[in-house]
Amino acid sequence: MKSYFPLLFIPILLSNSCSKMIHVKNEKYETETIKINSNLNHDDKIDKMIAPQKHILDSLMNVVITTSDEELIKDKPNGTLNNFCADIMLQIGKRYDNDASICIINYGGIRLNSIPKGNITKGKIYELMPFDNMIVIQKINGNDLIDILNYIASQGGWPIAGISMEIKNSKSQSILVNGYPIDNNKIYTMVISDYLANGGDNLNILKKIPQTNTGLIMREAFIEELQKIKTIYPNKEKRIKNVD
C-alpha cells in the first residue's frame, strides 16, 4: 500500500530542513542605580562622543532672539512672566482668528520660575516650554468660562490675558472680559493649548467644546513672535487679586 504526504506538510518540511535551530541562552544581569549629581566622575570619552552634536545644538540654542528690560517672574496670583506668556499667545491667536479676545495658560505649562534681565536665547524658550503643545482656538460661552475661572481661582491663579478677576474663598468674582462684566450667554473666542482643550489639568469641561487647531507649536510660535520684538518691557498688571 502506498502512502502519501499531504501537500500541506511539504512547505513545513522544506522550511524545517533549511532552518537552523536557535538556542536562547539565559543570562543574568545585575543593575545599579546611579544618581545624576555633581559627584559623578567626568567621562572624557562621552564628552568626545557628543562634542560634534553639542556644538551644533549650542550654535542653534544660543541665538539671541530678543532682550528683556527686566527680570520676568512667574508667581501666583500674578507674575510678569505670567502676563508675558499669556499676552504673546493671545497676540499669536489674534492673527489666526480676529475675534480672539482672551487667553488662558496653565501655571504648570510654564516651566521656568523666571527669565533673567537681558538677552533671551532660543534655548531659553525651549526651557520655558519644553513640550510640543499646539495653539488652538475655542469658542466658549460665558457660563463655561466662569466655571473655568472658578477652577483657576481654586488653584491660586494662572496666566491669563483679556481677563481680570478677584479670588475670594477660592472662587472667582468681579470677572471682567476686556473691561466688561462677563456675560453668561456671550460666546468668547479663547486662545489656549491643545493640552488644556483636551481636558488637561482637570479642565474636562473643555473637551466638549469644538477646537480649531492653528497648526502652531506654542514654543516655535513664541520664538517666531519674539524675534520681531527688540526689547520686552514687562507688563505688571494685577489681573488677579486675592480679596478677603
Q: State the pairing for strand pair 64-68/118-121.
A: antiparallel
Specify the DSSP class assigned to residue 46.
Answer: H
Q: Which domain holds residue 129?
A: 59-234
Answer for the pair 100, 93: CB distance below 8 angstroms, yes or no: yes
**pLDDT given at position 64:** 96
Asked, for residue 27, whether it belongs to a domain, the answer is no
pLDDT of 90 over the 60 cut: yes
106-149 pLDDT per residue, tens: 999 999 999 999 999 999 999 999 999 999 999 999 999 999 99
φ, ψ dihedrals at 224, nearest 5°:
-65, -40
Reported as a single tens digit per residue, the pLDDT across 99-114 is 999 999 999 999 999 9
Q: Does some domain include residue 179?
A: yes
Average pLDDT estimate for 180-188: 97
Going by the DSSP 8-state scheme, the letter that residue 82 receives in this structure is: H
Which CATH number does the domain housing residue 143 bear?
A: 3.90.780.10
- Residue 136 inside a domain? The answer is yes
Classify residue 17 by burial, with Cβ atoms within 10 Å: 0-12, 13-18, 19+.
Answer: exposed
73 domain residue, yes or no? yes
Confidence of residue 58 (pLDDT cuts 50, 70, 90): low
Closest CA to 217 of 126, 82, 138: 126
Domain count for the chain, please give it.
Answer: 1
Supply the pTM of this predicted model: 0.79
Distance CA 182, CA 47 (A): 57
Give the pLDDT band of residue 29 (cuts 50, 70, 90): confident
8 A C-beta contact, residue 177 and residue 151? no
- pLDDT score of 207: 97
Please report whether residue 240 resides in a domain: no
* Nine cell digits for residue 164: 481680570
| Beta strands per DSSP E along the chain | 64-68, 72-73, 100-104, 114-115, 118-121, 134-141, 160-161, 163-168, 171-177, 180-181, 187-193, 211-217, 231-232, 240-242
Does residue 74 belong to any structural domain of this protein?
A: yes
Is 81 a member of any domain?
Answer: yes
Q: How far apart are CA 206 and CA 63, in angstroms?
A: 37
Residue 195 is assigned to a structural domain of this protein: yes
Q: What is the DSSP string of 156-210?
A: T---EESEEEEEETTEEEEEEETTEE--TT-EEEEEEEHHHHTTGGG-GGGGGS-
The answer to whether residues 177 and 188 touch, using CB atoms and an 8 Å cutoff, is yes
